[in-house]
Structure formats: C-alpha cells, structure tokens
C-alpha cells in the first residue's frame, strides 16, 4: 500500500503522508495543505471525516461495535473492574496495582472537601436552575478557589490536579441535586468506596442514615464505567480545544460539561425519559411516535436512537440493557415507561427506516431507565453522565497537554459579503 495520498487541484498534484494507527485506521496528514496549495483548506461540517489528534486512550470501531479503553474491552472492564480502576487506567495508561489503587483512592479522599464559600455560590442560584448549569458554573468556580496554574511538566503537579478534581467533583454533583431538592449541603464519608460515597452524598436525609444497596452501587459503578470515555466526542473535543489555549483543567472540564448538556449529546438520557413520559401521557401509542420519527416534515426524533459513530450497535447499550433488566428485577420496579421503551426498541429494530439508516438504541436509551429506578431525578441524568465522563475528560486533557498540541483553531470558507464601502448612518 502506498503511504501517501495524492490530491490534484487545478492540474497540480500534491502528496500527503498517510498516518496509520495501531488498529490500522488510516488518516491523511494534511498539515502542509495550506502551505503547499497557497491557502486551500478543507471543509467538513460536524468534523465527520476529520481527525483532530492522534490519541492512545480509547479505540472504537463503530461498524463492528468495539469500544476499548487503553486496549481493554468495555465488556471486560464493565464486568471485572471498578470505576476508580478504570479512571486510573484512562488517565495514567495502565491498570493500577492494589497499592497504586489504594494510594489513588486515599489521595482523592484527601481532596474531597470543597471550600465552604462554594455554598454561597450555590445559594445564589435559583432553585429552578438546571443542575447541569449549576455543575458547570461550580466546576469553573473551583478555578477561583485553586488559582495556581498547573505545571504540566511536573508529574507531581499533574497528579495533584487530577486527584483534586476527582475528589471535589462528586461533592459538586451531589450539591447540584441537593440544592434543587432543598436538602442541606452535606459531605460523604471517607470510609466508603467512591461510588458508595456519591450515593450517600446524593441521597442521605438529614434525619436518617443512608443504607447502601449493593445492587444500586454495582449498577451505578457500571454506568459510570460505560460513560468514562468515548474518544473525540463533542464534549471531549471541547475539553481538548479549550485546554489547548492552556486554560486550566477545571475551566476546560467546565466547558465540557456545557457541551455535554445538549440533547444531541449527553442530554439525550434526559430527553429519552421525557419522550417516554410524553408517549405515556399521550396513551402509550408507540406506533404513532414511530410514524412521527420517520416523518421528514415532523421535527420529532426518537431520542436514544442513532449514534454518530456506532452504525451497527452501541456495545455499551448491550451491557446496559442487561444491567437495566437486572436492576429493575432486583428492585422489583414495575414501570410502564419501561414497557414503552421495550415496545419502541422492538418496533425500531425491525422497521425499514431504522434498519436502513442503522439507527440502534444507544447507551442513553437505557441509562435513563436505570437512573429512574435508582430514584435519581430526570434533570440529574446528564449530571451523572458528567460524573462518569470526568476521567475521560481528564485523560484527554492530560494527553493533549503532554503531547504539547498546538492551540485548536479551525479554518472556514467565507461565504459573506465582498468588500462594501461604509455607509454613513444618515444614508442607510
């Protein structure tokens, strides 16, 4: 195979080297394109064909339905590892030894107190504020409480920043929910596991002890692992591009949270539940909504179906579907919403429109159902996604800084007015 690609523009040929990844993915390195062609650029709306970086963190093959973190399959990790192990793996590249994991956890715990003044910021938010907005603002506010910038050339500095955000973020997650519910802002307990602590902080009532349910702990752990990274998605690309200006980790993560909020990305899990509720309210006629989804005149889309990259099946959806069935059975939850979800899934999988376009249920189709069974309010679903995605964002930010990537600055093709002489206001 040739290791270059040739591009002919106006009769002139230009050669560009091919970049081959460890899984034999091929990219055309067009770094010199503008220079050798005198300013020709590429245009690729939504970056559907553009690789923004080389990365050694996550591999996914959308056609085959493969997802691996640092070479380990998502199936193995969801089955055999816990969330903190996966976080360590993503960020530092290797599975931790027992000692490394214990140290990592205790360093995170040592950072799990948030400056008390953060509570004043939370107080200033209206109760109706969406917890994603609150979380994004609070994460950005952490910069103000930790003003010294991280020296990325110091391993120790990097490590400290990483454990700091992993320690404080779950507190902000819990507080974003508690603010909405009018519950006092609390702290967890350093004697608990990372995920157990999250649950305690979220659900503990001021007047009764929170009793852990291992089924819920296990399901949440799994959900967080499944969401932990997904290579260059919208929020991760946002974190990398903001960080490429050498903005700090907290500011970069805060912008990732905003990117995740949208219903076409992480907000889909909330949108799925709202859609299922609406179908139920409307009599539960799934066929009617299938029709709406296929009608090009109707803006309605079947939330939780389709994926930019997975055009076969979403391997996370397979794992989570099993977990959803287990959690609902174990908790004895009977939920008409679930019946509607199952009905939609069944119909879509055999419907020509969905089959032709390779639209399969994605991870968000099932995650919302589990969160609901756990008693997590709908508006918190995307916040839970952010909690899971945190290690991915950190590892991608760290990789980008360690590889000394240049500032992200795409080009454009200008399609506006040509030069116009300025018109005085009296003559307009």
Residues known to be catalytic? 307, 364
Residue 67's nearest CA partner among 365, 370, 321, 309 is 309
Which residues, 6+ apart, have CB-to-CB distance to 301 below 8 Å?
A: 293
How far is Cα 369 from Cα 326, in angstroms, rounded to an integer? Answer: 12
> Minimum CB separation from ligand ACO for residue 227, in Å?
8
Stretch that binds ligand ACO, among 98-106, 194-202, 242-250, 362-370 (CB under 6 A): 362-370
Least separation in angstroms between residue 265's CB and ligand ACO is 4
Residue 273's alpha-carbon distances to 7, 177, 204, 321, 381, in angstroms, are 47, 18, 24, 15, 10
Q: Which is nearer to ligand ACO, 175 or 360 (CB)?
A: 360
Cβ proximity to ligand ACO, 201 vs 275, nearer residue: 275
Nearer to ligand ACO, 68 or 307 (CB): 307
Instruction: Give the integer Cα–Cα distance in Å for 222 and 398.
Output: 24
14 or 301: CB nearest ligand ACO: 301
**Calpha distance 373→419 (Å, rounded):** 60
Pick out residues in 319-358 that bind ligand ACO (CB under 6 A): 357
107, with CB counted inside 10 A (0-12, 13-18, 19+), is middle
Nearer to ligand ACO, 138 or 363 (CB): 363
Stretch 36-55: interaction string toward ligand ACO, x if CB under 6 A: --------------------
- Which residue is nearest to ligand ACO, using beta carbons? 306
Q: Which is nearer to ligand ACO, 114 or 223 (CB)?
A: 223
* CA–CA separation, 318 and 338 (whole Å): 16
- Asked if 67 is part of the footprint of ligand ACO (rule: CB under 6 A), the reply reads no
Helix (H) / strand (E) containing 316: helix 315-331
Residue 22 beta carbon to ligand ACO: minimum distance, rounded to whole angstroms? 25
| CA nearest neighbour of 376 among 165, 86, 173 | 173
# binding residues, ligand ACO (CB under 6 A) = 18
Rounded distance, CA 390 to CA 385, Å?
9
What is the largest distance, in Å, between two alpha-carbon atoms of the chain? 78
- Could you say which residues in the range 220-279 bind ligand ACO, by CB under 6 A? 264-266, 268
With residues binned 3-state (H G I as helix, E B as strand, rest as coil), the percentages for the chain, rounded to 5, are 55, 5, 40
- 3-state DSSP call for residue 346? helix
Q: Least distance to ligand ACO from the beta carbon of 337, Å?
A: 16
Per-residue x/- mask for ligand ACO, residues 282 to 311, rule CB under 6 A? -----------x-------xxxxxxxx---
The CB-of-85 to ligand ACO minimum distance in angstroms stands at: 22
Residues engaged in binding ligand ACO (CB under 6 A)? 264-266, 268, 293, 301-308, 357, 359, 362-364
């Amino acid at each position: 195979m040739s290791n270059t690609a040739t591009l002919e523009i106006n009769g002139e040929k230009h050669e560009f080297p091919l970049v081959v990844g460890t899984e034999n993915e091929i990219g055309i390195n067009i770094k010199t394109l503008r220079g050798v062609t005198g300013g020709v650029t590429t245009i690729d709306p939504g970056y559907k064909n553009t690789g923004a970086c080389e990365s050694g963190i996550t591999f996914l093959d959308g056609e085959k339905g493969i997802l691996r973190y640092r070479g380990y399959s998502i199936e193995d990790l969801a089955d055999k590892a816990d969330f903190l192990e996966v976080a360590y793996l993503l960020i530092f590249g290797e599975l931790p030894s027992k000692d490394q994991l214990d140290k990592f956890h205790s360093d995170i715990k040592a950072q799990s107190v948030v400056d008390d003044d953060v509570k004043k910021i939370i107080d200033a938010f209206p109760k109706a504020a969406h917890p994603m907005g609150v979380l994004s603002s609070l994460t950005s506010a952490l910069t103000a409480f930790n003003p010294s910038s991280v020296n990325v050339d110091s391993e120790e500095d990097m490590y400290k920043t990483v454990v700091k955000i992993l320690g404080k973020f779950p507190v902000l997650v819990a507080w974003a929910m508690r603010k909405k519910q009018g519950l006092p802002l609390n702290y967890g307990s350093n004697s608990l596991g990372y995920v157990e602590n999250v649950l305690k902080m979220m659900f503990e009532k001021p007047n009764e002890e929170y009793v852990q349910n291992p089924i819920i702990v296990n399901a949440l752990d799994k959900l967080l692992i499944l969401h932990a990274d997904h290579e260059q998605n919208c929020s991760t690309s946002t974190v990398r591009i903001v960080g490429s200006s050498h903005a700090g980790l907290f500011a970069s993560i805060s912008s990732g949270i905003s990117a995740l909020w949208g219903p076409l990305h992480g907000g889909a899990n909330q949108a799925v539940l709202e859609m299922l509720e609406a179908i139920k309210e409307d009599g539960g006629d799934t066929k009617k909504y299938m029709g709406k989804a296929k009608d090009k005149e109707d803006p309605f889309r079947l939330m939780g179906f389709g994926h930019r990259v997975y055009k076969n099946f979403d391997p996370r959806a397979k794992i989570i579907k099993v977990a959803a069935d287990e959690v609902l059975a174990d908790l004895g939850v009977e939920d008409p919403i679930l019946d509607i979800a199952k009905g939609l899934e069944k119909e879509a999988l055999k419907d020509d429109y969905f089959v032709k376009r390779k639209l399969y249920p994605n991870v968000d189709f099932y995650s919302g159902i589990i969160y609901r069974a756990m008693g997590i309010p709908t508006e918190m679903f995307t916040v839970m996604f952010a909690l899971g995605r945190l290690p991915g964002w950190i590892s991608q930010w760290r990789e980008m800084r360690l590889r000394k990537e240049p500032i992200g600055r795409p080009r454009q093709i200008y399609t506006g007015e040509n030069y116009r002489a300025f018109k005085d206001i009296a003559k307009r």
